[in-house]
Structure 1
Amino acid sequence: MHEFEVLADAVRRKLLAVLAVGEQPAGTLVDIARSEFGISQPAVSQHLRVLRDNGFATARAEGARRVYALDPAGLDAAEAELSRLRDPLGQRLDALHTEIARGRRAARTGETATTEEAS
């Protein structure tokens, strides 16, 4: 699943937002998703599995419960994809900025030479 597909779902975004604050037991995540989205425990478990399988969350056993944490790898991959999409435009804008600066510099140099010749 593509990073953007993982992030496209509101339930998964909410779970990630909660995990961004800190580790959470699965029960807490289920309660939050059920109260906000009205979905079942198995549906929340499926969303958590998608987050784990795609590198956005990790889970560890702590006694009889699972504790989830944010895995920055998934967010890093999404950020890298955004940077890749943004980069071609950024390079063009940098080139435009350079040309504008050259034009201004040339105009100043031309004005300075004209002013000195008039003296």
Structure 2
Amino acid sequence: MHPFEVLAEPVRRRLVEILASGEHTTGELEGVITTEFGVGRTAVQHHLRSLRDAGWIDSRDDWPNRCHHLRHGVIEHIEGYVFDLRRLWDQRVGWNGEEQSPFEPQHTRKGKRGHRRDPDDIWLHALD
């Protein structure tokens, strides 16, 4: 699964953020995600399984808990895609750089489905 596809889903992105800090139990992850997103345990399990199937996390049984952690190399994998985008950006043609960037907030600019872009969204400015 492409890293941006994984990170496009807010629940999976949040799970990756939490797991970047270290190993956590299923219960800890469910507690955070259900509180922040208002989804049930089944949805959290689904996203953990998706991350595991994509090779992003490993899980181990530590009775009575199951512990999850990011696999080594995941961050480097993401950085690789960002590096490739940066390289393409640096080699771009057809834009002189003096115009306003499409990522800078504009009061009249709207994103998908009519929602305004959040200028404080860290993912929006990830390539800055």
Q: TM-score under structure 1 normalisation?
A: 0.69
CA distances 1:39-88 after superposition (whole Å, capped 9, x unpaired): 11111001111111222211111113210112243322221111112113
Q: 1:69 to 1:24 in 2, by over 3 A?
A: same
Deviation at 1:6, TM superposition (A): 0.4
Secondary structure of the equivalent of 2:83?
Answer: helix
- Higher radius of gyration, 1 or 2: 1
The one-letter code sitting in structure 2 at the alignment partner of 1:78 is I
Q: 2:82, 2:53 → 1: CA distance?
A: 21
Q: Distance between the aligned counterparts of 1:91 and 1:13, measured in 2?
A: 29
Q: Distance in 2 between matches of 1:8 and 1:73?
A: 19
Which residue does 2:5 correspond to in 1?
5
CA RMSD of aligned residues (A): 1.6
SS of 2:39's equivalent in the other structure is: coil
Matched with 2:81 is 81
> Quick check: 1:24 aligned with 2:24?
yes
Which residue identity does 2:27 align to in structure 1? G
Name the SS for the 2:73 alignment partner. Answer: helix
1:75 to 1:16, Cα distance in 2 relative to 1, 3 A = same
Report the identity percentage.
40
| Unaligned stretches of 5+ residues in structure 1 | 93-119
CA distance in 2, matches of 1:2, 1:89: 19
Unpaired segments ≥5 residues, structure 2: 93-128
How far 1:91 moved relative to its partner? Answer: 5.2
Q: Work out whether residues 3 and 54 of structure 1, in 8 Å CA contact, stay in contact via their aligned partners in 2.
A: no
Matches of 1:77 and 1:51, distance apart in 2? 14
After TM superposition, the runs of 4+ consecutive aligned structure 1 residues lying more than 6 A away are: none
Distance 1:74 1:54, change over 3 A: farther
Which residue matches 1:38? 38
Structure with more helix by fraction:
1
Contact 1:11 1:47 in 2 (8 A): yes
With normalisation by structure 2, the TM-score equals: 0.64
Task: Give the structure, 1 or 2, with the largest relative contact order (CA under 8 Å, sep 6 or more).
Answer: 1
The residue aligned with 2:50 is 50
